[in-house]
Amino acid sequence: MAFLKAFGSWLPERVVTSEEAASWVGTDAQWVKNVSGILERRFARDEESVADMAARAGADCLERAGALASQVKMLLVSSGSSERQFPGPAAAAAQKMGLSDIPAIDLPLASAGSLFALSLASRLAEQVGEILVIGAEKMSRLVAREPRERGVAVLFGDGAGACLVSPESGMCQVVDSQIASDGNFSDDLYADVDSPIRMNGRSVILQASRKIPGAIRILLERHGILPEQVSAFLMHQANQNLIVRIAEALGVPAERFYSNIDRYGNTSSASMLIAAAEWCREHTFEPGEPLVFAGFGAGFHWGALLARAV
């Protein structure tokens, strides 16, 4: 299976505190913190597009990998907040990064999109060559739509994350992945073309609380690994309370789940790759240590990916 060569990220400069976000919906920062763990999030400028953010995270990733744009043979961009119905941001992001004459493919999957893209890339890399995976989201565009719901508008932020998937070498090797979808719940989390985000929070939490640990367990059991043997869980940053619950369900300390949701909020499909980029900057890989990536989102789509440090 393929290797994860490097991660990259890009976050907008503007910090939106939970005091400011709470003021939109008549609540306070303490409530936001209690229900989500979020203290602040970043919002992009009006003129910054999803493709701009994707290209910046992609460039950061290539620089960290010591790779040239010409080495990239395919681009996968996940986003649930693209400005246009079509085309998605992949082609424009490719152009901004100087990636020419390669397939630039959009995956319009919010939240779980980068996990799905990573899973697909890890299976395709041997045939295609190096694949750049990006998750980029401008959730502030959706959050600004009225009416703003208290339990939704305060949760989201903007950002982009990236990973270069290589068939030959990298900091860790993908062992396996487990992805799935269930359209029975497609009305429980969605945004129409011009609507605000609609979320049945109870359904999302109930399903995510079972499906994420379930996918992780299936994956680990296939390879004879116990959850407590996993060095780090790099998960979609949806809600700190959900992250803690999933850690409890797996019987591992919550500290094993890297979290930056307090600083960036829920950046949807970008969040897992941003978290991975930060975690990799702060940690040295021990050869053989297992890492788990996991995500869950609108659809519902969910899954997990197992990698081992090289």
| Residue from 181, 211, 194 nearest 144 by CA | 194
CB of 254 vs other proteins, minimal distance in Å: 14
Q: Does 181 bind other proteins (CB under 8 A)?
A: no
Residue indicated by tokens 């209690």? 34
C-alpha to C-alpha distance for 133 and 295, rounded to whole angstroms: 15
CB of 201 vs other proteins, minimal distance in Å: 5
User: Is the Cβ of residue 10 or residue 156 nearer to other proteins in the bound state?
Assistant: 156
Q: Which amino acid is at 114?
A: S
CB of 183 vs other proteins, minimal distance in Å: 11
User: Is the Cβ of residue 65 or residue 153 nearer to other proteins in the bound state?
Assistant: 153
Residue from the set 19, 28, 63, 182 that interacts with other proteins by CB under 8 A: 182
Q: Does 68 bind other proteins (CB under 8 A)?
A: no
CB of 119 vs other proteins, minimal distance in Å: 20
CB of 186 vs other proteins, minimal distance in Å: 13
C-alpha to C-alpha distance for 228 and 253, rounded to whole angstroms: 8
Sign of CA dihedral 298, 242, 220, 136: positive
Using CB under 8 A as the binding rule, the residues of this chain from 191 to 250 that contact other proteins are 200-203, 205-207, 209-211, 241-242, 245
Residue count at the site for other proteins (CB under 8 A)? 15
- What burial letters (b/e) apply to 146-155, b meaning 16+ CB within 10 Å? eebbeebbbb
Sign of CA dihedral 178, 163, 89, 122: negative
Residues forming contacts to other proteins in the complex (CB under 8 A) are 182, 184, 200-203, 205-207, 209-211, 241-242, 245
